[in-house]
Every structure is written in structure tokens, then in C-alpha cells.
Amino acid sequence: MPSFRSSMTERGWPQDVGIIAIEVYFPSQCVDQQQLESFDGVSQGKYTIGLGQTKMGFCSDREDINSLCLTALSRLMEKSQAGYENIGRLEVGTETIIDKSKSVKSVLMQLFEESGNTDIEGIDTTNACYGGTAALINAVNWVESSAWDGRYAVVVCGDIAVYASGAARPTGGAGAVAMLVGPHASLVMERGVRSSHMAHVYDFYKPDLSSEYPTVDGKLSIQCYLSSLDNCYSTYSRKFACIKEASSPPMSLSQFDAMLFHSPFCKLVQKSLARLAFNDFLNTPKEELTQKYTGLEAYREKKLEDTYFDRDVEKAFMTNSTEQFNQKTKPSLLLATQVGNMYTPSLYGGLVSLIAQSTVESLSGSRVGMFSYGSGLAATLFSLKGSLDRGPDSALAKLIASQADLQCRLKARTEIQPDVFAQTMKLREETHHKAPYIPVGDTKVLFPGTWYLTHVDDLHRRLYERHSLSTSNVATKAVDVAYTKEASISLPNASNPLSSLPQPVLSNSSQQ
């Protein structure tokens, strides 16, 4: 068997390292937020307008963090055809902990058994909603390091976001995203500008290991989110100034073709874009202020740290940045408003949403800002650049084509009544960590190809099976092709979105 070779002197620095392929999985069941408002007895628009949420995805007791990640990884590997033997690193980002010792990554290794590949670095990474970003950074760093052996890295991030009955419950959600990382990527991580902000704070945490529910200081969490955004944007701007061409304008929102955010709820994302517009306003020299800021002069002396809950500033800059929000950010909220907060995959669900609504022309060469936040806290602002190759068979064209079924999959979900949703949440609460346990959720409503929990034995060992890749369920027939391995593999080149991936560097020598 040929071995993989890693000679940085022979190959040089890996070029254009970033995301080659991406796949998202969300549950086949959802609840309508407007109906949930009526069921919860709250004012009309509290969830749909106040939070900006339309529907919320949720899992029955048939799905857990392991099954979500198994499904996402299976989809990625089948649609990309990268080959399990060609993976050298696999890291999982999640805050959904069902075992204090055994990692989700180790559960995913069952998918590699047939290939015989056990030489795979990486493990789970946890810090609230930030773990997926940490895993992605680690994957990129690995490919760009002397440790790289020419194989791909895979990042999987997934979570089930559930809350106790009350005001926070409509901000839940569930899902998983898997990404293939390597050189010659469709979306390249920009070097030299990535900026992070880390601090110690108790804004959202899960001290009760017997429960899925978090302890949340909502007001503090929003302040921490916005403060982290301010800090990361400032550092990113400073680094950008060091590497930009002399003729290029200074950093501002105009430098981003798209701006994506971690989305606890969609309204916060809109406020975050406005927050960056406020940063730009304060950073613009007085003599350079244009008609763009007419009527905002009264806010010139405001300090960032004094304005986290300043309604006047918030309203003024949300109004001022409406066009920027609609152009740069709103397209990324498709999954966030339809599925809810997926925690670690939230930002990357935004990326999938953007890709699904883009053309090769609009994404090629574009700069996509990515703000990741995890309570506790950890935050990073980084950027991706779309490949300049615009050909019909380019990696970028295939990446976009791979998400053409996203709207279809969302429409194929089964909408559940709020009372049934509440019963499902109650069942999860009562059976969380129960052993032995046989789930009672209906597997017929699952999407084709979904992994699900069959039972938990008396030693808490969890066993899984995969739902049929085809189905007789009318509601899910529309997404058969998207979930069917045979359909994906049998389609040639342009019809198969990701059939022409860059190949790993191989050596016939047994020496590394």
C-alpha cells in the first residue's frame, strides 16, 4: 500500500488551504415558531419578530450528538467521494456531552473500519458554540504544518440545543456540519488576519452534568457577544492594515462581500452587523465622514463599552446598515431562521446558506467574514476567500452545486404541533442518560440515510443503525437523491457536485 509523503521542501507551502466541501444535516422534524407563540401564551411576534425565528428543528429520542455527526460525516464522504483512506485528521467540535470520557470522534471511527484507516489525528474540542471553529483552525494549521502528510482533514461540528420550558426554549435548534479541509480549496482561509478574543466569564454554562439544559445569564451573554465582536474586529482591522496593499482602503464593512455571524437568534445577527457599522463610524476620521453618516453626528463621542444596551445607538445603526445587512448577511440566515441555533454548526450553517444562494460569479474572489462566538468565552473573526477559478467544472462550481437541494430539504421536513414538541422535550428530559433504554421515536419520519439510536444497554453503551437510503415516505421522497449514496456516485463530473477533488500526494516509498 502506498504511503503518504510529507516533504515541505519538495512540495512547498500548501497553497490555498481551506474548505473544499461542506455538508449540513438538520432534523427532519420542526415546530412553527408562530404556533409556538400561541401555545406558550406569549404576545404575537415575540419569537418571529423579536427573535427573528420562523421554525425550529428538534430531535426525538432517536437522535443524539453521535447520530447527528455520523449522518453529517457520511453525507460529506459520500458526496465528496474523498475516500476514508485519504483522511489524516478528524476533529469534532461540540458542547453536547453524553459521555465524560469517550469522544464523539471515536464513535465516528466506525465509518473508517472498512477502509482500514486508523491513522487519523484529532479528537473532540469543547467550549460552548466555539468548538467547531477551533476544530477548523486546527485542521487548517495541520495542513499548513510540517506534520501534514498530504491527506485531507475533516471537521465535524454538531449539537442539540435544548432549553427548559420558558423564554429561552424558542432559541433552541439542532444540526451538524461536516467540512473537508485541504489545499486548492473552494473557500480559502485568509492568512495573517485571523483575530481572537478570550476571557473568563459565566454568561452561559452547563454545570449540571445530569441535564441537557444550560444556566444562562441572557443579558450578560449578549454583552459578551458584542464586546467580543468589537475586540475581534479591532484586532482584525489592525492585522489587515499590516498586510494590505498601500493603495487599498482601510478595513471596514466595505472590504467584506459577505459578513456571517454565529446566530443564537437572528435578530442578534442583525444587531451585530449594525454594531460593525457603528465601529466603522467611530473609526472614520471626522474630515472623511460622508453623507452615509448624515444625522448620526450625535453618536460621535459615544464609547463602545457604554453602548451595548443603548437603544438609540442600536436603532440608528440598524437603520443605517439595512442595505449592508440585506446584501452581506441576510442570505446567510436561511438555516438559522428555519432550524434555529445549532450551537457549534451555527456559523457554518450560515456559510451553507450563503453558498446555496450564490453563483460562481458572486462567490469567486469574494471575501466572507466569519465571526464565531462561544460563551465562557472564546471568539474569533476570520475570513474566507472564494476561489478565482470560475470554470463550470471548478471546485467552487461544484461546491455551490452540492447545496442546490437545501431549500428542498427544508421543505421536506415534517412540521410537528407545539404540544407534541413539548411532549418530545419532556421525554428527552426524563430519559437523558437513562440505561438501559430503548428509544420510542418513529424512525419512519427520518430523512433517508440518517443514523439513529437503536438502544442503550445497561452499561450505557449506545448502538446505532442507519436509516434506509431510499424511502416510501412521501414527505421525504423529495430528498432521496440528496441522501442516496448510489445516486451521488453514479452521477458523472458536473452532475456530481464534488467529483473532482484535488488528490493527496502519494509516494511509493515506505519512508515518510
What is the set of active-site residues?
Answer: 95, 129, 262
The contacts of residue 5 (CB under 8 Å, 6+ apart) are 149, 150, 505, 506, 507, 509, 512
Q: How far apart are CA 266 and CA 272, in angstroms?
A: 10
Q: How far apart are CA 34 and CA 205, in angstroms?
A: 28
Query: How many residues are present in the chain?
Result: 512
How far is residue 130 from each of residues 159, 263, 444, 469, measured CA to CA in Å? 11, 12, 33, 32
Describe the crossing of helices 266-283 and 218-243 by its angle, rounded to 10 degrees: 50
DSSP secondary structure string for all residues of 342-369 = -STTHHHHHHHHHHHT--HHHHTT-EEE
Q: Is 221 marked within a binding site?
A: yes
Q: 269, 51, 224: which is closest to 127 by C-alpha?
A: 224
Q: 364, 403, 402, 370: which is closest to 385 by C-alpha?
A: 364
Q: Is 477 marked within a binding site?
A: no
DSSP secondary structure string for all residues of 270-306 = HHHHHHHHHHHHHHS-GGG--GGGTT-GGGTT--GGG
Q: Kindly provide the residue ranges of all beta strands, DSSP E only, lying in 337-433, ordered along the sequence.
A: 367-374, 378-386, 414-415
Name the grid cell of 289: 465622514
Pairing of strands 124-125, 87-93: parallel
Pairing of strands 367-374, 258-261: parallel
User: What count of other Cβ atoms lies within 10 Å of the Cβ of residue 267?
Assistant: 15
Residue owning grid cell 419512519: 444
DSSP state of 340: -
Rg of the chain taking only CA atoms, in angstroms: 23
Name the grid cell of 209: 452534568
- Is residue 276 within 8 Å of residue 259, measured between CB atoms? yes
Q: How far apart are CA 204 and CA 214, in angstroms?
A: 7
- CA diameter of the chain: 72
Q: Is 292 marked within a binding site?
A: no
Q: Which residues are annotated as a binding site?
A: 221, 267, 271
Q: Which residues are annotated as a binding site for CoA?
A: 221, 267, 271
